[in-house]
Chains A and B, each alone.
Chain A
């Protein structure tokens, strides 16, 4: 093959091209109004989990309002630490959104994993999904009331095996219940599982006597379990067991399981209020759209609109409770 282009010319052409390629988007960016290119949604979990499903189900509706395609990027691993770190490393220009279980993972990353970020680096736009801890037992276990469980554990803390995930909101909730009833923590027979799914299967199959796991995930197994205690002030998902407020009083402390939803860089709110306002409006409109609510509800995904103020306040509140029980979370 012969050409008339000398090596030097070729190099010059190539470098010019490269320079142009680098320069072009920034020129466009300077001129165009936000958003003028596709937007990424970082999900700090692997494909198939709740956040991934939420992001993928919500994205087609959100992109209609934002006017640019949305790409979901999964950055799973290390209890969302890797994904959260990656998200914060992206420029705070509104081209990277976050869909995560903000509570309890952001506080846990900070308190137990020496994360390099602070809670204040994140700004939650809406946390529609508030999972709750459900204390349940297998249908075969013969336990029908939380009072039986407390009585048994009072007589002998090691009498029941208890399935939980290590360093989880569920573990904090277990200890709150134990402390309130004067049951020593040391004697408990705690069995740790690597995820909510395995822990729920163990409860349903009577592999452990009782288990504390996120309640929403129990729904497909509803026929196989007896719900005993819901960690919320109101009944959830028609379980019908006792509420934590029935047992520990109206002021009972507890932590929500997972508070999942949408976030941005906190610096975006301060530095680019226009961009932030656009994202906020798009997420709010999408969340309130009856068509979206119908589509997501059918997939057991939440769209309730709480707004940034309430979402951030709730996240901060559960971060505070988690901090109180920090000693529990550093290695079970």
Chain B
């Protein structure tokens, strides 16, 4: 488990150069800023600053880049809470309860919750990583398409709980999202539904579509409101209330633990990562909470669930990268490139040969997570002033930022066009009582579900007995069934208890 000699030399490595630590705060700030800008991904932020690290020593370079990674992981949650725009796809579930909280004047608490849950999730994931890096990495490669399908289907259970008042409408919206998610070239090389537009070959650009559905549709329907928060007295920005969000987070250790666990596991699977883990954690928390019905209307537990999972995915992705040399996503690919610049090649031999470097990276991330608490607090405090901006300035500014952000993704008009199309779709859906969130989740999961089901069919040759060769997949499906069963059972017990209470009174 823990190699104490390596821990010792890791600490020596970290304390050998004080200047290395100077890069943490700029890194966090860069990450927070880029993460909060919708459309600018963590990968993009890190790619921009990668060439700078060429001129640094190894340790400062890695500390700088991982600080950007950590900062950007949280940065995305700020616009999610304040404007219903997930800055990154990993903050989608944060919008579900964070934004309603902000509209009720609880923006301070919501941001405090998000920050504290992120910091704790990040810390906990690196603690897990410290002990589990080797076992986790041996599991990751065994994840076949059937296992991935099971994870994706688990994520889809969320569709049912996002449906609001009308289940058929919710499912319809979810199916629409799933179908939209299959547009483009599928994994077997067939092209569907692109209408001859080459920009759709890789599918609908998710981030602009998400911004359109969630944010623009919201803002259009807020045209008549004067401020984001109706009550003037609630528009205050207060450290005290942000801190009360911190305290509230600490009251739900189970939610954080569950979120962290889901985050580490899902985050370590290459190609899935934090954009799925926050949805899974949210959906599990909602189904297990006694007040599950109030999720989506500003329940603080929803924010905690989403944030603890998306920030702990960072630790999972780092585990895969360090142990196997496989980038789970764009951000870890950049980190691997930075490693390579300093003659360090990731992979199984890396952990064996350079345990001290691995521990040093993990320990420096502890420090980053703690500093994020401080830097993030200042960032959140300033960002909170958005609620004081009158809507007649806020709506156009946010729309302009959204258009620029969607353009920045690949520098073509396909982003802004997608944004506009999905804004109109989102507005119409809200107008006629269809839940846009279900469509977003469907869109995020569509290609994952389809690609993995297709690959399962290809591998098995259509033989259902293949499932018996994959105990991992059976285990995931059994866990899912158990979780649903438990929910149903506890819901029944609760109803019975309520009935009993009614009779007694």
Interface string of B448-468 (1 = CB under 8 A from A): 000100110011010000000
Chain A min CB distance to B34 (Å): 13
Interface string of B262-273 (1 = CB under 8 A from A): 000000001100
Query: B198: which of A60, A81, A193 is its contact (CB, 8 Å)?
Result: A81
* Cβ-based interface call for A198 (8 A): yes
Contacts of A74 in B (CB 8 A): 47, 410
Interface string of B76-116 (1 = CB under 8 A from A): 00000000000000000000000000000000000000000
- B189/A332 in contact, CB under 8 A: yes
- A191/B459 in contact, CB under 8 A: yes
Contacts of B324 in A (CB 8 A): 220-221
* Cβ-based interface call for B44 (8 A): yes
Chain B min CB distance to A318 (Å): 19
- A189/B458 in contact, CB under 8 A: yes
Contacts of A221 in B (CB 8 A): 324-326, 347-348
Query: A81: which of B51, B201, B410 is its contact (CB, 8 Å)?
Result: B201
Q: Residue on A with the closest CB to B139?
A: A205
Query: A205: which of B141, B271, B461 is its contact (CB, 8 Å)?
Result: B141
* Cβ-based interface call for B145 (8 A): yes
- B326/A224 in contact, CB under 8 A: no
Of the 9-residue stretches B56-64, B329-337, B489-497, which lies at the interface with chain A? Answer: B329-337
Interface string of B123-148 (1 = CB under 8 A from A): 00000000000000000111111000
- B455/A223 in contact, CB under 8 A: no
Chain B min CB distance to A327 (Å): 12
Contacts of A52 in B (CB 8 A): 47
Interface string of A177-200 (1 = CB under 8 A from B): 000000000000111111001100
Contacts of B155 in A (CB 8 A): none
Give Cα A92–Cα B410 distance, bound, in whole angstroms.
22
* Cβ-based interface call for B188 (8 A): yes
- B337/A48 in contact, CB under 8 A: yes
The residues in A between 146 and 186 inclusive whose CB is less than 8 angstroms from any CB of B are: 158, 161, 166-167
* Cβ-based interface call for A85 (8 A): yes
Given the known inter-chain contacts A79-B201, A82-B412, please indicate yes or no for A220 contacting B345, CB distance below 8 A. yes
- B330/A190 in contact, CB under 8 A: no
- The secondary-structure label for the interface of chain A is mixed
Given the known inter-chain contacts A197-B326, A198-B270, A205-B142, please indicate yes or no for A192 contacting B461, CB distance below 8 A. no
* Cβ-based interface call for A201 (8 A): yes
- A298/B188 in contact, CB under 8 A: no
Chain B min CB distance to A41 (Å): 13
The residues in B between 254 and 297 inclusive whose CB is less than 8 angstroms from any CB of A are: 270-271
Give Cα A204–Cα B347 distance, bound, in whole angstroms.
12
* Cβ-based interface call for B16 (8 A): no
Among B43, B185, B334, B458, residue most surrounded by chain A Cβ atoms (within 10 Å): B458
Interface string of A214-229 (1 = CB under 8 A from B): 0000011111100000
The residues in A between 203 and 255 inclusive whose CB is less than 8 angstroms from any CB of B are: 204-208, 219-224
- A224/B348 in contact, CB under 8 A: yes
Give Cα A161–Cα B347 distance, bound, in whole angstroms.
26
Query: A208: which of B201, B451, B459 is its contact (CB, 8 Å)?
Result: B459
Contacts of B54 in A (CB 8 A): 60
- A166/B201 in contact, CB under 8 A: no
- B455/A166 in contact, CB under 8 A: no
- A331/B201 in contact, CB under 8 A: no
For this complex, into which size category does the number of interface residues on chain B fall? 35 or more
Chain B min CB distance to A309 (Å): 31
* Cβ-based interface call for A76 (8 A): yes
The residues in B between 223 and 256 inclusive whose CB is less than 8 angstroms from any CB of A are: none
Among B143, B189, B271, B340, residue most surrounded by chain A Cβ atoms (within 10 Å): B189
* Cβ-based interface call for A272 (8 A): no
* Cβ-based interface call for A66 (8 A): no
Give Cα A193–Cα B144 distance, bound, in whole angstroms.
11
* Cβ-based interface call for B327 (8 A): yes
Query: A300: which of B51, B334, B345 is its contact (CB, 8 Å)?
Result: B345
* Cβ-based interface call for B8 (8 A): no
Given the known inter-chain contacts A198-B270, A201-B270, A223-B349, please indicate yes or no for A299 contacting B341, CB distance below 8 A. yes
Contacts of B349 in A (CB 8 A): 223
Give Cα A74–Cα B412 distance, bound, in whole angstroms.
11
Q: Residue on B with the closest CB to A202?
A: B144
- A82/B198 in contact, CB under 8 A: yes
Given the known inter-chain contacts A48-B333, A85-B198, A220-B324, please indicate yes or no for A205 contacting B143, CB distance below 8 A. yes
Query: A192: which of B50, B189, B327, B412 is its contact (CB, 8 Å)?
Result: B189
- B142/A193 in contact, CB under 8 A: no
Among B43, B326, B349, residue most surrounded by chain A Cβ atoms (within 10 Å): B326
8 contacts between A and B (CB under 8 A): A49-B333, A82-B412, A158-B461, A166-B187, A166-B188, A191-B145, A201-B140, A223-B349
Q: B-side interface residues toward A, CB under 8 Å?
A: 43-44, 47, 50-51, 54, 140-145, 185, 187-190, 198-199, 201-202, 270-271, 324-327, 330, 333-334, 337, 340-341, 343, 345-349, 410-412, 451, 454-455, 458-459, 461
Q: A-side interface residues toward B, CB under 8 Å?
A: 46-49, 52-53, 56-57, 60, 73-79, 81-82, 85-86, 113, 158, 161, 166-167, 189-194, 197-198, 201-202, 204-208, 219-224, 298-300, 329-332
Known: A74-B410, A86-B412, A201-B270. 10 other contacts (CB 8 A): A46-B43, A73-B411, A77-B410, A78-B199, A85-B198, A166-B189, A221-B325, A221-B347, A223-B348, A298-B341
